[in-house]
């Protein structure tokens, strides 16, 4: 098996898990391939990870959710299973802990794992004449928001060619079900359960009481454009990691992504278990009683 590895070098635990992975993989004849950013952290020489994820059977991500989002981009459009190992605290998408790495790899080898298929979005920035000048795939969200000054911006939105209206807000979030538990949730959006084929559009701090999040089919095409002064601009963020800017009359077109992300899950914990554990979802009285009993 060929195992690609992406990691966040800011975690002190990274050296230990890389050592653990070497001790697991080498005796079994597996090939390890590493992104360049962490190759100096390995206890032994490893091959470089191909830029498009070619010829690997599994990609392991060591870090938090942000590292996972970056890891997915190394795959290009390839649907290769990704095992996210959490080295941080919350890690909602990266739910497997570092001490479970050997058992998680065993489960993948033996086929006893589960695959969570997560939809993606593709955001394309069109210039004044309608030509694409930038395009990115995202796992979580595309966000059009104010750039620089502390002020609201005015955005115009269409869905499937029909005008929805103008929004005066700090910005707009267009999120997948995976992204519905990230920035969109903080902005007041609903939680979309994995497997629900939909997208949520959430305004950030809208300057009105009459705006609510909208859930639309994943097949929808959402268009956002700056609707204020001619010289007014906005920033466009893709998964919070890649950023571009737009000005009138440019626009951002957001559609279903060309590929899905395949997350490897082991054990019996499901989505709502992670909601309770990671996001403290629901009534906390049962946990308070357990704490007092201790």
CB–CB of 155/167 below 8 Å?
yes
DSSP 170: S
For residue 222, what are the CA distances in angstroms to 18, 33, 239? 42, 38, 17
For the chain, give the longest Cα–Cα distance: 67
Q: Is the peptide bond before 249 cis (omega within 30 degrees of 0)?
A: yes
With contact defined as beta carbons under 8 Å apart, do 72 and 82 qualify? yes
What are the helix (H) ranges across the chain?
A: 14-25, 65-73, 101-110, 183-186, 271-279, 285-293
Q: Is 127 a catalytic residue?
A: no
In 3D space, the residue among 98, 104, 138 whose CA is nearest the CA of residue 259 turns out to be: 138
Q: Which of 15, 52, 65, 294 is catalytic?
A: 65
| Contact between 22 and 32 (Cβ < 8 Å) | yes
How much of the chain is helix, strand and coil, in % rounded to 5?
25, 35, 40
| Opening angle at CA 207, ends 202 and 209, nearest 5 | 75
Which residues are known catalytic residues? 65
């Amino acid at each position: 098996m060929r195992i690609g590895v992406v990691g966040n070098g800011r975690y002190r635990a990274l050296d230990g898990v890389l050592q653990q992975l070497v001790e697991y993989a080498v005796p079994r004849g597996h090939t390890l391939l590493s992104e360049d950013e962490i190759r100096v952290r390995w206890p032994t020489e490893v091959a470089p990870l191909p830029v498009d994820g070619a010829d690997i059977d599994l990609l392991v991500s060591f870090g938090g959710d942000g590292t996972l989002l970056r890891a997915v981009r190394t795959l290009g459009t390839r649907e290769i299973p990704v095992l996210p190992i959490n080295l941080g605290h919350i890690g909602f998408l990266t739910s497997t802990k570092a001490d479970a790495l050997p058992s998680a790899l065993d489960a993948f080898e033996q086929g006893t794992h589960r695959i969570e298929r997560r939809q993606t979005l593709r955001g394309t920035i069109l210039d004044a004449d309608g030509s694409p000048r930038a395009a990115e795939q995202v796992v979580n969200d595309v966000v059009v928001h104010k750039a620089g000054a502390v002020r609201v911006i005015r955005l115009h939105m269409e869905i499937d060619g029909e005008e929805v209206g103008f929004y005066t807000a700090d910005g707009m979030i267009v999120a997948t079900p995976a992204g519905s538990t990230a920035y969109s949730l903080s902005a007041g959006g609903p939680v979309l359960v994995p497997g629900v084929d939909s997208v949520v559009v959430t305004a950030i701090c809208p300057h009105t009481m009459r705006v609510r999040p909208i859930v639309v089919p994943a097949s929808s095409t959402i268009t956002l454009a700056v609707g204020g002064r001619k010289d007014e601009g906005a920033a466009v963020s893709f998964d919070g990691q890649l950023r571009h800017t737009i000005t009138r009359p440019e626009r951002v077109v957001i559609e279903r992504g060309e590929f899905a992300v395949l997350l490897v899950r082991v054990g019996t914990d499901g989505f709502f278990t992670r909601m309770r554990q990671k996001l403290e979802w629901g009534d906390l009285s049962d946990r308070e009683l357990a704490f007092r009993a201790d």
